[in-house]
Amino acid sequence: IGMAASMASFILGAGERGKRTALPSSRVMVHQPMGGSEGQAEDVRVEAEQIIKIKGTLVTMYSHMTGRTREQIVADFEGGDNYMSAEQALEYGLIDRIIGPTHD
């Protein structure tokens, strides 16, 4: 059992190719950046601009890590939290193999 959610899924996918592994019962979750800005209008605008920039960077990097197009990554981010089983994370390109008694 285990979960790599949010930035942990990014770190998992950014690992050295061929060494990115998960257990059969693991879950992986990706989503677009979130903010929670409050305060003056200018503060909210600045944070929104930063979130948009961060999203663009994350999309580019997830695309590089997984081999999926930027458009695919954007679509997968848009629906909110996107949970994957270990098999789905393998197919998606975030991990390279599933380790465990039935997968070695």
* 6 flagged as catalytic: yes
Enclosing H/E stretch for 2: strand 2-5
Which of 9, 25, 26, 31 is an active site residue?
31
Which of 6, 63, 85, 103 is an active site residue?
6
* 103 flagged as catalytic: no
Strand pairing report for 97-98 and 2-5? unpaired
Cβ-Cβ contacts under 8 Å for 85 (sequence gap 6 or more):
26, 27
Residues annotated as catalytic are: 6, 31
